[in-house]
Structure 1
Amino acid sequence: MKKIVVIHTGGTISMHVHDKSGAVVPGDSNPLTAEIGKLMEYADIREIEAFNYPSPHMTPKEMLKLKQIIDQHSSEGHVEGFVITHGTDTLEETAYFLDLTVKSKVPIILTGAMRSSNEIGADGVYNLLSAVRVAISDNAIGKGVLVVMNDEIHTAQNVTKTSTSNVSTFQSPQYGPIGLISKTAIHFHHSPNTRESFEVTDVSPKVALLKIYAGMDADLLMHVAQAGYHGVVLEGLGQGNVPPAIVPAIQQLLNQDIPVVLVSRCYNGIAQPVYGYEGGGKMLEDMGVLFAHGLSGQKARIKLLIALSDPRWSLCLNEIFEY
């Protein structure tokens, strides 16, 4: 049987509904650890309790710690895959961080739950079993970090949470899942073409993420320029445009050598420098704004943070975001 390390980090998948208050809360123990017998039917499982955090409490520091745990176990023993249980609110960011920074080709699968452990229709144990099944699949090797939820397999780069409560919340807009899970098999129907890799030991750079909206003023961006941020990601309008009122603030950021990365706030399509009017994408590109093709705002922020953590990468941001 393949040797799989299951790393628990907390989240709804390890929580329960409190009998009196009705609130979903963490417990004194992780209910998933009681399911080890079911997992051992598929693989030789080692469990690690890395954290017990609700996913809004996750930060890049915890993401880096997960990378270090994976690297340590990859180097110390014959580990053939990793499964990480995680809260769904920030799961996609942790997945993408690991996808960019872990060099190992063994399957790394993130999963979670939309219903806590003692709710009717709880999906945590089923998703965990599905994740283990994908982790032991030879076809999962070399495909980067994957997210398994609700019988679907998604890449870390494309997946996003699309519903606040539906069990099918994780989708890959425009691209779709790369595989499906049935009762008897793991079906991959396509694979990522390429994969990036970055060295990272420091996650201290401050990177802001702002959504652009109609009539937006420059004051928020001016504050970013004064507050010690090292980079900014803007979720622009349409193909990558902004109101003209904030163009001077963007120019000030660039003058202070604070990189500005532009994505689209749309789910589908990519940001690209098309429009030549004031605040249009072509004008912004000519100013020095970088376009992140096909990334969401939260993923572009993770990528910029990693790039800024190493002077070697920060000198070639154009190439990094053209990838």
Structure 2
Amino acid sequence: MTPTVAILFTGGTISMRIDTRSGSAVPAMRGDDILVHVPQLADVADIELEDVAQLPGPHVTPEHMWRLARRVAAWLERPDVDGVVVTHGTDTLEETAYFLDIALRTDKPVVLVGAIRTMSEPSWDGPANLVHAVQVAGSPASRARGVMVAMNEQILSAREVEKVHTEAAASFQSREFGPVGVVDAGVVRYLRSSPREAGWFDAEADGLLRVRRVEPEVDLIKVAAGADGRYVRCSMASGTRGLVIEALGRGNVPPAMLDDLGAAVHSGLPVVLTSRCGAGSVRERYGYEGGGRGLRDLGLIFAGRLSGVKARIKLMLALGHTHDHDRLREIFDDPMG
């Protein structure tokens, strides 16, 4: 039976053209305009269409993600809809994908997709990516796998996917574990599973939405050689509600940051630790001043294998549920070790 897939258009390069006067890519198309260029979709699924927004990736905010989650949930609640595809700007696609992965409680497939090239370029990848995303969303094999991203014939877990190149067709990768599947000659094939986010508070869920609110005031600080605590102090002074530290290596910081990190934790501010490395987890391996052992003792919450931007998304959603430090530590306990 032909699946029914809802496509929610939110903008991004997939909807852009090159402006002839400026030579720059600009938003130009709504959902109907894009579908004209992808007639193959009629052979893949029965398509339902909604224009949610027309935003370049850098314009997307946590509030946009929250509104999008509610629209996706509304489509998923329809019994005749088998899956949902969301077109999205690639600059923040990995963040929205992970936001939806946490926020939605569903076994129906939700697949994000974008494009690296505009329709004005001979190598426009939007149509092929969109067809593959619909194939993934409409496949029974895609159920109960969490939110995924379909780009460049690969299927990637929302938890693991990163944009790792500014303009290559294969910009999206899971650097540590690889894709969870592929679209091979139009056939959706899964290679492995990926741990799904635990339902931290499913008992409080409202329908398909696990969360009732999001706390957008969470800052992300990247650590570099010789860094001190000035950005921690600035974040605290600005009224941030949470802080993510993208630390060095296994989860270590320069000693000059320690006093301010301690002050932040003692003030009741949740401080989450992750690594600026592209793979691996943070652990309390090192006992020197500024090492992970001391940071754990100081009260920082370890984010396991999550990247800085993913840890920030998770903290935003977790703070919409609780401010209890022990509960936050449980939420960030990493099932991937």
Same fold (TM over 0.5): yes
Which residue of 1 is the match for residue 161 of structure 2? 159
Report what 1:47 is aligned to. Answer: 49
Contact 1:205 1:308 in 2 (8 A): no
| Residue 175 (structure 2) aligned to one of 160, 173, 176 | 173
Identity %: 40
- Give the C-alpha shift of residue 313 in structure 1: 6.9
Counterpart for residue 18 of structure 2: 17
Q: For the residues of structure 2 that align with 1:66 and 1:173, how far apart are their CA atoms?
A: 27
Secondary structure of the structure 2 residue equivalent to 1:226: helix
Decide which of 246, 249, 253 is 2:257's aligned counterpart: 246
Would the aligned equivalents of 2:181 and 2:188 in 1 still touch at CA under 8 Å?
yes
**Aligned with residue 119 of structure 1, among 114, 121, 144:** 121
* 1:1-323 superposed matches below 5 A: 1-27=2-28, 29-30=30-31, 31-35=33-37, 37-197=39-199, 199-311=210-322, 316-323=327-334
What's the TM-score once normalised by structure 2's chain length?
A: 0.93
Deviation (angstroms), 1:36: 5.7
TM-fit CA distance, 1:303: 0.2
**22-31 or 156-165: bigger deviation:** 22-31
Alpha-carbon distance change, 166 to 205 in structure 1, aligned in 2, over 3 angstroms: closer
Q: Aligned residue pairs: how many?
A: 323
Letter in 2 for 1:215: G
Tell me, in whole angstroms, the C-alpha distance in 2 between the residues paired with 1:195 and 1:229.
25
Structure 1: state its 5+ residue gaps.
Answer: none
Gaps of 5+ in 2: 201-209
SS at match of 2:133: helix
Encode CA deviations 1:131-169: one digit per residue, 9 max, x unaligned. 011111111111000000001000000000000000100
Amino acid at match of 1:47: L
- Give secondary structure in 1 for the equivalent of 2:91: coil
Residue type at the aligned position of 2:160: N
Q: Matched residues in 2 for 1:189 and 1:313: separation?
A: 38
Contact 2:10 2:54 in 1 (8 A): yes
CA distance in structure 1 between the aligned counterparts of 2:187 and 2:58, rounded to whole angstroms:
34
Q: Give distance in 1, aligned partners of 2:225 and 2:332.
A: 26
Partner of 2:207: none
Partners of 2:56 and 2:43 in 1: CA distance: 29
Distance 1:80 1:245 in 2: 53
| Larger deviation, residues 195-204 vs 292-301 | 195-204
Is the CA contact (8 Å cut-off) linking 2:76 and 2:84 kept in structure 1? no
Instruction: Name 2:204's counterpart in structure 1.
Output: none
Residues 35, 224 of structure 1: alpha-carbon distance in 2 compared, 3 angstrom cutoff: same
